[in-house]
Structure formats: structure tokens, C-alpha cells
Structure 1
Amino acid sequence: MTTTLPKTAEVLPLIADAVTAPSMHNAQPWKFVHHPESGIVALYGDPARAMAHADPDHRALHLGCAAALFNLRVSAARAGWEPAVRLLPDGDDPWFLAEVHLRRPEVTDPALAALHPALRRRHSSRFPFSEEEIPPALLDGLRSAALLEGCRLAVPDAWHAETVLGLVHDSEHREEMDPTLRAETKSWTHAGTTDQQVRPDGIPAYAFGPKQSGRGALVRDFGRSEPVPGRGWAVFERRPHLALLGTSGDTPADWLRAGQALERVLLQATADGLVTSMTSQPLEWPELRWTVRDPGASMSHVQMVIRLGYGPEGPATPRRPVADVLDIR
């Protein structure tokens, strides 16, 4: 029997979908290689786009690349391909993160394909959310989404949420006191409008959202490093709805599973009418990260803090063109 393999023209839209994934500071630290003779798409991390100070062990880089990997799986399923994934296929090359063998399946995965409409609707929203409660059924669905990728999603109790908020404020203060870290963050922010992009990556000023009135919210304020004339103020929700995504281990393989789980949760939340943003500030400080977890829970390592709710959708941020992130070999 002849195996049907995807042509390069069929892989291009899959990569275009993959790169809509979130990444730290929208650095987009991924590189894809398509091998037409085998039907394999290889995923590599790009060390040139790593955060030397905020992410020295490349945990966040793995999360972002894995989110792009999940998007590739979604896009492939919608196009009628089965994406068979192998993580960390070469122990001698730590930047070779995954390979995806695309083949025509005997049975398709409708659950993956159903998430495709959310790919280009999902944007980080750095705007105030309402105080409206999220129905328990939706939260259960998000927990199930994380479990499908081998991870756990926990909704912290009120006391734990307050602890997390305090850790966010602590980490913000630490960043303000660290000129090297501030300079790194600033290097990934830039001016520009939705109609006139000045670069295909990073956080543009129009995506900063408003300044936060009163006690700081859970959203990282990129405007501290890139002041915007006329930027307004807003009161954010007093009790943000938080979810903690975590794993039992803390190895590169765990990070890759967590990144896929993160994107599955974000896409499911988008499909359910929720808006989201991510908070990594306290996870960037080893002395703070371990205190983010609930000591009474089974989750050993928190990989991301997610803010959920109802509110304005965030604007789309720029993406590098497929030609910049895909090689054919």
C-alpha cells in the first residue's frame, strides 16, 4: 500500500496556523523543517530568540514552541492528517524539540479539528475583565482539556489566589529593580499600529492595554518599558479568575507537554466565549515560583498562571511570515 504524504503546498497552511501560538513576549522562538520524502515536520527551538535573563533554562521557550506544536496538530487534523508526535527525538540536540509524522488516518480526531476556528480568534487580552462568574461546567471542560495533554489545571481558592496576586506584585517590583531584565523586556516591545507594523514579532504598543488604576492587576504592563502618549487608565477586576496549569515533573519533556496543554486550554476557553491572558512573572523567579503552587494539591510544578474571564478580546499581534520559520529539506 502506498502511503500518502503531504506536499509542501499542503504543509504551508499548517505552519501558518501553528505560528498563531502565544510565546513569551511574542518572541516566536520556533523553527520548522519539512522533510517531503518522509512526511515529517520537525520542530526546533530558536536560541537566538531565547530570553537570557527572564528564561535562562528555556522553560518558557519550550512552552511557546509546544503551543505552536499543538496548533500544528489542530490544523493537521482539520486538513485530514493524523499528526503522530515524538517529543525530543534526538538526545544529542536539545533544540530538536519534536517531530510530527503526517499521514492519512484510518480514523480522524474530530475533537482536535473542532478547535481550529479558535486558532485565529485566540489573543491575549490585557484589558479589564468583568466580575462575572465562570460556569463550573466550562471550568470542568478546561480541566479536561489539560488532562488530555497529560497535565493538570487547578482553580485556586480565594486565599491561594490572593497569594498568587501577591507574588505577581513581588515579581513586578523585582523586575523594576533589575535594569538588565527591564532592558530585555523593552527589546521585545515596539511602537506601531494595527495598520502599520514595524516588526513581525514582539508586543506592539496597541496590545499593551490600559494602565492599571490602583493595585496592580495580573497583566504584565509592557508600557513601563515603552511609554505610549495618551495611553489611558482602567480599573481591573478585583478578584481575577485564575487557573494554574501544572505538571508532576519539571523536565523539558514536561514543558513540552505543558505547552500543548496550555494551548489546548486557551483554544477551548476561546471556543467557549472566554478571553484569556497569561501571567509568567512569578514563574520567572526560582525563589517565587515554588510558592505559586498550592502545597495541599498534587500539582508539583506550576508552568503557567492563566487569567480567565469575560471581556474585550485582545488585538492580534504580529506574526513572522511562514517563509521565515519554515525550511524544506
Structure 2
Amino acid sequence: MSATPHVDDQLVRELIGDAVAAPSMHNAQPWRFVYHRSTRVVELFADRLRAMPTADPQGRALHIGCGAALLNLRVSAWHAGLRPVATVHSAADTAEPLATVRLERAAPHEIDYDLAGLHGAVSTRHTSRYPYAETPLPGPLRQRLADQARSEGAMLSFPSGWHLELVLDVIEDAESESGFTGDPDEQKWVRTGADASDTTRDGIPEYSLGARKREGRAPVRDFARGHAETDRGSAAFERMPQLAVVSTREDRPLDWVAAGQAMERVLLLATREGVASSFATQALERQELRWLLRDPVAGAGPVQMIMRLGYGPMGAHTPRRSVQDVLDTAP
């Protein structure tokens, strides 16, 4: 880690390379960046051509994905010895950035080492659609994960008892309904077959689909549904999975970006601590179900993301578009 790095084009490419390692809905990677050399400002834009008109008509998941990329950019900048001064905007159209990040020099004592320390997990965090052990996460680790979300202006809770049963029931109903009606967004972004899986730079390749669920209640989406038969085998998943719910106080685009940053910060710490993760977004894609998922006892606000956490295989690397495909440089 350098205290006073020279911010040249190569360093900016490295920062963006870390940013785009973030997760996004169906790995669509709905972002693009512009770096202004004269002001050392990175602009983050939503790529609406990679939106999900059926599953995400409001662009909520798109904002969450961009928020995750923004968090990775901040982590990478702190690790490089820079102070990333980030501002999130209420972008009304695609011509306006969702966020800007000014890259300032930082002395060693000014570094946010909590964020910088997550850098190693940026490249190793992968979605794992495999069975996890029934071993519960330790209470102190759960508290640390919740603290990460709180640092980004969101709340992280771990449903249990009747609330966990309710969340699982709602997700299962949404999954069943989705399987009956079909999801054109899902069909578009799943890559089956060796040629498609090996050459794609986005979407969900066949090798990352994981095993079919033979039994258990873990909310693992079967992305191969509706595609040609895939040789994945089947497995028994957790009987009672460990879920983590990200909530915000309000439900605006600014809150969605905050939820994305909180989600990614939680996932990076979980990865660093050897905890695997996947997402359970089926119910979140239906506006009328999101209200049912919240915990009325805790008084939490709108649910933005549900994650499955546990000890198990860490998942395979999924493809990313190259930095040159998502980054433009201006004087």
C-alpha cells in the first residue's frame, strides 16, 4: 500500500478492474465509468441497456449493483493509498452519473484501514450455489457483519424463528410462480453450453450454476430451468439456511445505492472470514412481496437484498467485461 501514489491511467484501470468485480443481477454488469484526468474524478453511470425490464422495472437492482461497484472502487482506492471522496447523486436520466468519486492523496494515518483491509476479498468473492454446512455463523461475526452494513447507512438482520419461516415461504412461492410464468430476463442472461460458458464476458455461465437441489430449504435459484439439460448433478442443501437481510429506511434510488454498498461491504468481510454466499432475490422482484419480507417487530424498512450465508464451497469465478469496455477517459 503506497501512501502517496501517482494517479495515472494504469492505476485508474486497476481501480476500475476491482470495481467491476462486484456482483449484479444475473451478472449483467450494468455500469460504465468516465475518468477525468484534470480533476481526478471518476464518474459512475448506470448502463440502462443492461437493465432487467421484467424483473427490475424500477431499476432498483440495477442501482444496487452499481452501489456494489462503488464500494469496491472505494476499497481499492483506500488500499492504493488514496482517499476516495464519494458523492451519490439522484440521477434523473442516463446522462447524469449515479455517483462521483474524487481521488485525493491520503497520508498513512488518514487511511480507512477497515475498508482497505477488505481489498483481498474483492477478487475472491464469488457467488456459491452449492450446499453449505448447517454450522451457524458465530454471534460476534454476525455483529461485525451488521456493523459493516450500518457503516453504509443500511441495516442487516438475520431472520430466525417465525420470521425465517415466513421469508422462506415467500421466496418459495415466488420461485414457483416464476417457474410457471417464465422470466425473459433470466433466460437472456444464462449461458449454457461449453462455447457460450467459455467465451462470455457477462451473464451466468453453466459452470457456476451449482448443483440441483434435491432436498432442503436453501433458497437457491435454478437458473438452468428452461435451458437445455445441463450435467450438474443434485445435492441435499441446508434444512434451515442462514439468511441475512439488507434493509434501508426509505425506498429511493439513493437508498438502493446505499444498500448495494452495504451488501458488498458485508460480502467482502464474509468472504475474508471464510463464509460463502449467494443471493435470494426471487421475492424481491415482485413489489407486492417485498413488504411481506420485512420484520415488523424490529421495525425495519424496505427489504433491498436477501443473502444466504454459510460455510461451504466459495463458488467459481464468473466472467467480467474488460476494463476497456466499461471505462472512458477524458482530459
TM over 0.5, yes or no? Answer: yes
Q: 1:166 — aligned with what?
A: 169
One-letter code of the match for 1:291? L
**1:189-268 maps to which residues of 2 (within 5 A)?**
189-192=190-193, 197-214=198-215, 217-268=218-269
Q: 1:115 — aligned with what?
A: 118
Aligned residues: 325
Q: 1:9 — aligned with what?
A: 10
- 1:187 and 1:102 map into 2 onto residues whose CA distance is 37
Q: CA deviation at 1:131?
A: 0.4
Aligned residues of 2:79 and 2:119 also touching (Cα < 8 A): yes
- 2:96 and 2:186 map into 1 onto residues whose CA distance is 23
Q: 2:69 — aligned with what?
A: 68
Q: 1:328 — aligned with what?
A: 329
SS at match of 2:43: strand
- 1:169 and 1:196 map into 2 onto residues whose CA distance is 28
TM-score, reference length from structure 1: 0.94
| One of 132, 135, 139 as aligned partner of 2:138 | 135
Greater displacement, 101-110 / 14-23? 101-110
- 1:268 and 1:177 map into 2 onto residues whose CA distance is 37
Deviations 1:186-242, CA, capped at 9 Å, x for gaps: 110112559962210000011110111135531111011333433201010000001
Q: 1:32 — aligned with what?
A: 33
Aligned residues of 1:18 and 1:71 also touching (Cα < 8 A): yes
User: Alpha carbons of 1:232 and 1:114: their partners in 2 closer, same or farther (altered >3 Å)?
Assistant: same
SS at match of 2:300: coil
Aligned residues of 1:5 and 1:36 also touching (Cα < 8 A): no
Aligned residues of 1:205 and 1:228 also touching (Cα < 8 A): no
Deviations 1:248-285, CA, capped at 9 Å, x for gaps: 00000001111000000000001111001111110111
**1:67-106 maps to which residues of 2 (within 5 A)?**
67-88=68-89, 96-106=97-107
Q: CA deviation at 1:7?
A: 1.8
SS at match of 2:313: coil
SS at match of 1:269: helix
- Aligned-residue identity in percent: 46
Deviations 1:116-141, CA, capped at 9 Å, x for gaps: 01011100100000101111011011
Aligned residues of 2:31 and 2:46 also touching (Cα < 8 A): yes
User: Alpha carbons of 1:165 and 1:96: their partners in 2 closer, same or farther (altered >3 Å)?
Assistant: same
Q: 2:147 — aligned with what?
A: 144
- 2:91 and 2:274 map into 1 onto residues whose CA distance is 39
Aligned residues of 1:278 and 1:306 also touching (Cα < 8 A): yes
One-letter code of the match for 1:168? I
TM-score, reference length from structure 2: 0.94
Q: CA deviation at 1:295?
A: 1.1
- CA RMSD across the alignment: 1.9
Q: CA deviation at 1:296?
A: 1.1
**1:16-55 maps to which residues of 2 (within 5 A)?**
16-55=17-56
